[in-house]
Amino acid sequence: MFQITDFPEFSWSYSRHKMVTQCNRKYAYHYYVSHNGWLDSASAQSQSAYRLKKVSTLSMYAGQAVRQVITEAISDYTSTKLVPNERNLAEKVQQLLNNALRDSTDYGELWYHKPAQYKMLLEFYENGYISKKDLKDMQKRVHICVHHFLQSKSFCDIVSSPFLEVEPHQSFRSINVYDHKVYAPFHSLFKNPVTDEFTIVDWKISKQTKDDLFQLAIYALYVLAEYNISVDQIKVRNEYLLSGSARTYQLTLHEIEAVLQQVDTSIDYMKTFLEDSEVNQPLPLEHFPQTDTPASCHGCAFKELCQTG
């Protein structure tokens, strides 16, 4: 049963790790100040932080929409064995984007009071409009991503290997690591019942980064624990949908141990911002310094709170 608590539950995820290393102040707003901000009794600052936490850039929301449609397409294929039509998939993504744009332009007042029930795109929130060029460019990116999904190694493997088992999608996968909840929200998981091997797939509409393998290794921790298998039974893969390329890795036990150490170090760092680690009570906001890299503020909805204090 859901209970209202003074402080949020502590957990670890790659996105949380990435945020705390980018900007401590953004981390505070996102994970602590926004807590209980949906309550009418919450402070104005908490309500603002919660509202801004729900704002998304056009690019971020497009990525979510593409992955949602891909997940549904894979599920539909496993049931029907019918390869989805590229145009239909692109139209589904575009409809999700249109809905978000409609919410932003027509239902701003409703979003303000119920930010969890409506979408708000940062570009519209900041400027009052989204340029036709940005919308057209995003439409092109969506078509490219959908096209490359249907040509991807992972989807082609599903089509060409009827024995391949697609594990059910879960939005909130988590495991216990060092007595802390660690989230592993990967997108697709396939099992080969002949070889008893698992393939973890992350669908990306962004460019390759140096942290991509680290992120995949976090997901491998979940599969290792959940299915009680050895590391040599797991392959991890990033499908880069803009370029149409894929990178597949076979992790080693040494790499898994190194990732566990990185997670442990990251958790220790997060706890330096706590006044009481037992209840996850944060230090006062002034102990969360703003980033000294102004470029990091681009695309951050919380910057208005930094400016107003």
Other CB atoms within a 10 A radius of the CB of residue 116 amount to 10
Structure tokens at 124: 């519209």
Q: Residue 113: what pLDDT? A: 95
Whether 121 and 106 have beta carbons less than 8 Å apart is answered as no
- In this predicted structure, the answer to whether residue 1 has a pLDDT above a threshold of 60 is no
Whether 200 and 173 have beta carbons less than 8 Å apart is answered as no
Res. 307 pLDDT band, cuts 50 70 90: confident
Q: Residue 298: what pLDDT? A: 87
The helices-and-strands tally (H runs, E runs) of the chain is: 12, 12
Q: Residue 2: what pLDDT? A: 67
- In this predicted structure, the answer to whether residue 309 has a pLDDT above a threshold of 80 is no
Res. 169 pLDDT band, cuts 50 70 90: confident
Average pLDDT of the chain, as a whole number: 95
Q: Residue 68: what pLDDT? A: 96
> In percent, how much of the chain has pLDDT > 70?
99
Return the SS3 of 180: strand
DSSP letter string, 39-63: STTS-HHHHHHHHHHTEE-HHHHHH
> What confidence tens digit (pLDDT) does each residue in 200-232 have?
999 999 889 999 999 999 999 999 999 999 999
Q: Residue 296: what pLDDT? A: 84
Mean pLDDT for the stretch of residues 52-62? 96
Res. 129 pLDDT band, cuts 50 70 90: very high
Q: Which residue shows structure tokens 């303000």?
A: 112
CA distance 64 to 104: 17
Whether 263 and 224 have beta carbons less than 8 Å apart is answered as no
> What confidence tens digit (pLDDT) does each residue in 70-125 have?
999 999 999 999 999 999 999 999 999 999 999 999 999 999 999 999 999 999 99
Q: Which residue shows structure tokens 């539950």?
A: 9
CA distance 24 to 131: 31
Is pLDDT larger for residue 67 or for residue 162?
67
Q: Residue 286: what pLDDT? A: 96
Residues whose CB is less than 8 angstroms from the CB of residue 123 and which lie 6 or more positions away in sequence, other chains included: 57, 58, 129, 130, 134
Residues of the chain by 3-state class (helix, strand, coil), percent to 5: 55, 15, 30
> What confidence tens digit (pLDDT) does each residue in 3-22 have?
899 999 999 999 999 999 99
- Burial (CB < 10 A; 0-12, 13-18, 19+), residue 97, is buried
Q: Residue 219: what pLDDT? A: 96
Res. 168 pLDDT band, cuts 50 70 90: confident
Buried/exposed code over 280-296 (b: 16+ C-beta within 10 A; e: otherwise): bebeeeeebebbeeeee
- In this predicted structure, the answer to whether residue 275 has a pLDDT above a threshold of 60 is yes
Q: Which helix (H) or strand (E) holds 220?
A: helix 212-227
Prediction pTM value? 0.93
Q: Which helix (H) or strand (E) holds 200?
A: strand 197-204
> In percent, how much of the chain has pLDDT > 90?
89
Q: Residue 262: what pLDDT? A: 96
First-to-final CA distance of the chain: 35
Q: Which helix (H) or strand (E) holds 245?
A: strand 245-249
